[in-house]
Amino acid sequence: MENEKTPERKSGVRIPPQRGQVKVMMFNQIVKTVKSVVTLGKKGGSGNGSSASTTPPSSNYPSEGHSDA
């Protein structure tokens, strides 16, 4: 019996995790993600959060309309 090896556990790791620990880890990850998205939104400085331009794109056609000549 003394020669049998018992599996060594790493400190802090429980198999299976304690009841509710998975939900806590998921919640913490969601909080980190939301916090980083909000921080990135504040750094942008545009205010409205939209990256779309308000000016129409330029075209290769003349702006005079149709010409028959």
Q: How confident is the model over 3-58, as pLDDT tens digits? A: 666 666 566 777 888 889 999 999 999 999 999 999 988 876 555 555 555 676 67
Q: Annotate 22-36 with b (16+ C-beta within 10 A) or e (fewer).
A: eeeeeeeeeeeeeee
pTM over cut 0.75: no
Mean pLDDT of 52-68: 64
Distance CA 3, CA 6 (A): 9
